[in-house]
Amino acid sequence: MPSADLVLKNARVLTMNAARPAAAMVAVEGDSISYVGSDKELGSFVGAGTRVINCAGRAVVPGFNDAHLHLFSLVGTLLSIDLGPQSVNSITDIKEKVRDKVRHTPPGTWLNGTGFNEFYLAEKRYPTRRELDEAAPDHPVFLSHRSLNACVLNSRALALAGITMETEELPGGRIERDLETGEPNGILIGMLDYIHREVMPPLSEAEFDNSIKTLNKNLLSFGITSIQDATVTNDLARWERVCGFVLDHRLRSRVTMMAGSPYWQDFQKMGLKTGSGDNLMRLGAVKIMTDARKDQSELNETVLNIHRAGFQLAFHAVAESMVEAAVSALEYVDKHSPVMKRRHRIEHCAECPDYLLDRIKKLGAVIVTQPPFIYYSGERYLATVPESQLPWLYRIKSPLEHGVVVAGSSDAPVARANPLTGIYAAVTRRADSGQVLLPEERIGVDKALDLYTVNAAYASFEEGIKGSLAPGKLADMVVLGKDPAQIPPEEINDIEVDMTIIGGEVLWEG
């Protein structure tokens, strides 16, 4: 028996493998696991070139897999003004943050702020173009809402975007206007991607490189060994660019990248479909926006064509009506071509009554949800979501009990990309404010870990190579400062990642 390249010993190994749930040692040969079991076998695996790590009783879990985030948006936030609830409490604070940035930025340069949410502002509203003009009269300003569905531009930015009183709205977009004058007030709904791609200048290569390096470090520090990019604007150019990040090791986490629905045929023409690539970089589902305003028959035919082409589908579906539209489309497809084993995905699935869970189960579809939203926005949901809809909000226990596979994610940069926050929220259903959202939907630590490991791998057809710790699987592991199953649930969010290992290589140590 050849000696191992790496051994983790004296560990509390949570394998997420039902055949062997717990162990004390993991041995790695090359980029794969060769042994999971007792420390008694240590001598069989240690040779002159073996690196042995004594975990001293710390927990070892499979590498975390964020099943839904937005890579390029995350890169952008690293260079932006942080306007999240932890940084600002009012529009006055926003203006002051913008003024601070102005002092160090040449006139005419775009200023980008991210993460504001009117619910957490004293004024309980969006800032306007005029207020941003006061803070930055000589700079175009772009502020993105925490939801990534809205943005606010000042007058200079509106002018550069060519948005005036006469501008017609783009399909799916809305230009909010002053009620008296009809003049755009700077608030744009559903137009964030358009402004990013068509109006704002791209980041310089130097800026982008620095941001990618920072992002890579952040992901590793969170124990994230795999990410799934769920951006509807992903095209072939983005695919090639991310392939470059992975090949030159600027991005070490493994990447599954969705294709945006406007571009799926471009990928098809290149011979690419769901699963194309390797274990470092692969093509995932086709991301499709489920808009309740669309004609259901149009959605049905679009979905059928993509399904028949061999792609997995990932539906952006938040409200109950959108979830039902996605489910109805899959039921239509199923009449023409079986969907049970295709693992089509419903992203977010924020409002999901039991009657929809039953239908989702019959279709074999996967729900990819965002437990951190409970932590970061639970108090807002309790204050603003109609009482009739509240019982169906970001449920986890109920779909699992229905037999639906549920994967966990952050939707970063909408929420911070820390899986332990998501695990904490899934176990406690507790918001940062201390308020509890639907305590009946709490799940145990083991099921919460499943969301970010084996279930996330299942959502991208990769459970055979990742998501649990077993011989033959990729050696993607995380060493945690504490075992989440052995501490009070309230302490899970404070657990630190001590070490992140990808393919048997220690890439981060805390």
Amino acid identity, residue 108? G
Q: State the CATH number of the domain containing residue 159.
A: 3.10.310.70
Examine the domain organization and report whether 141 and 214 are in the same domain: no
pLDDT number for residue 369: 98
Could you report the per-residue pLDDT of 301-353, keeping only the tens digit for each? Answer: 999 999 999 999 999 999 999 999 999 999 999 999 999 999 999 999 999 99
Examine the domain organization and report whether 237 and 316 are in the same domain: yes
Examine the domain organization and report whether 208 and 220 are in the same domain: yes
> Is the model's pLDDT at 76 over the cut of 80?
yes
> Is the model's pLDDT at 218 over the cut of 90?
yes
| N residues, the chain | 510
Q: What is the 3-state secondary structure of 400-426? A: HHCCCCEEECCCCCCCCCCHHHHHHHH
Quote the percentage of the chain above a pLDDT of 90.
Answer: 94
Could you report the per-residue pLDDT of 93-115, keeping only the tens digit for each? Answer: 999 999 999 999 999 999 999 99
Query: What residues are paired with 254 via a beta bridge?
Result: 226
β-strand 141-145 against 111-116: which pairing, if any?
Answer: parallel
Could you report the per-residue pLDDT of 421-454, keeping only the tens digit for each? Answer: 999 999 999 999 999 999 999 999 999 999 999 9
Examine the domain organization and report whether 124 and 215 are in the same domain: no
Examine the domain organization and report whether 195 and 224 are in the same domain: no
* Helix/strand/coil percent split, the chain, to 5: 35, 25, 40
Query: What residues are paired with 351 via a beta bridge?
Result: 393
- What is the span of the domain harbouring residue 86? 80-199
Q: Is residue 98 part of a domain?
A: yes
Q: How many domains does the chain have?
A: 2
Task: Tell me how many degrees the CA angle 227-228-232 measures, rounded to the nearest 5.
Answer: 140
List phi, psi (to 5°) of 156.
-65, -40
Examine the domain organization and report whether 187 and 207 are in the same domain: no
Quote the percentage of the chain above a pLDDT of 70.
Answer: 99
C-alpha 388/C-alpha 319 separation (Å) is 13
C-alpha 482/C-alpha 480 separation (Å) is 5
> Is the model's pLDDT at 171 over the cut of 90?
no
Q: What is the 3-state secondary structure of 336-377? A: HCCCHHHCCEEEECCECCHHHHHHHHHHCCEEEECCHHHHHH
Q: Is residue 308 part of a domain?
A: yes
Q: How confident is the model at residue 293 (pLDDT cuts 50, 70, 90)?
A: low
pTM for the structure as a whole? 0.94
pLDDT number for residue 364: 98
C-alpha 411/C-alpha 425 separation (Å) is 15
Examine the domain organization and report whether 195 and 214 are in the same domain: no
Examine the domain organization and report whether 185 and 215 are in the same domain: no
> Is the model's pLDDT at 294 over the cut of 80?
no
> Is the model's pLDDT at 292 over the cut of 90?
no
pLDDT number for residue 208: 86
Q: Is residue 424 part of a domain?
A: yes
Examine the domain organization and report whether 234 and 163 are in the same domain: no
Among 148, 166, 199, give the residue marking a domain's end: 199
Q: State the CATH number of the domain containing residue 376.
A: 3.20.20.140
